[in-house]
Structure 1
């Protein structure tokens, strides 16, 4: 009976450690620039907070999507790579036509 308890305890501890290791990365702004704050808010995945941050910035959503760079990437790519709830945020940013496969081109053969 003690062996079974040890096996269960070891399994639970191992699974807990794996869960902590796979937790999402924390994004922390390193400066107080508006663009940096927008990148971090977008990556966190809260559409309401992102909308408020965009309004507070005084820039249009379209301008931000087309011009803002986050760690050398455009905002949509940054959110795809680092963000939680990326599809919802990128649909909000890029419109209903957003798709993860926007870079893919279909070629028809004759």
Structure 2
């Protein structure tokens, strides 16, 4: 049971896969979970996309800032490392 829980958590935490291009990092969704959808909305660097996705999924800011991990990083760190300044706010 513990292995199953760990696997499920790892799938949610590692919600996107990075592929590097010469110009910038591109993100590809690993699955269609709510965590992945939210991380992809953050990676879009479009505030309105993120707000709409949060509303559609019923996720609030506290959950995103305190509990969600994108590529094994907090959402704030994820947004700052990749320069998603519009969605970082």
Confirm or deny a common fold (TM above 0.5). yes
**Matched position secondary structure for 1:26:** strand
- Give the aligned partner of residue 24 of structure 2: 24
Q: Kindly report which structure 2 residues correspond to 1:1-110, keeping only aligned pairs within 5 A, or say none.
A: 21=22, 23-83=23-83, 86-91=84-89
In structure 1, what is the Cα distance between the partners aligned to 2:48 and 2:75?
Answer: 17
Higher Rg of the two aligned structures: 1
Structure 2 unaligned residues grouped into runs of 5+: 1-20
Q: Report deviation, 1:37.
A: 1.2
Q: For residue 82 of structure 1, report the CA deviation from its aligned partner.
A: 2.5
Q: Which runs of 4+ in 1 moved over 3 A?
A: none
**Runs of 5+ unmatched residues, structure 1:** 1-19, 92-110
TM-score by length of 1: 0.57
1:63-85 per-residue CA deviation (whole Å, 9 max, x = no partner) reads: 211110111111111111234xx
Match of 1:56, SS state, is helix
Of structures 1 and 2, the one scoring higher in RCO (CA 8 A, sep 6+) is 2
Quote the Cα distance in structure 1 between the aligned partners of 2:87 and 2:32.
22
What is the rounded CA distance, in whole Å, between the counterparts of 1:71 and 1:25 in structure 2?
A: 13
TM-score normalised by the chain length of structure 2: 0.69
Name the one with the larger strand percent. Answer: 2
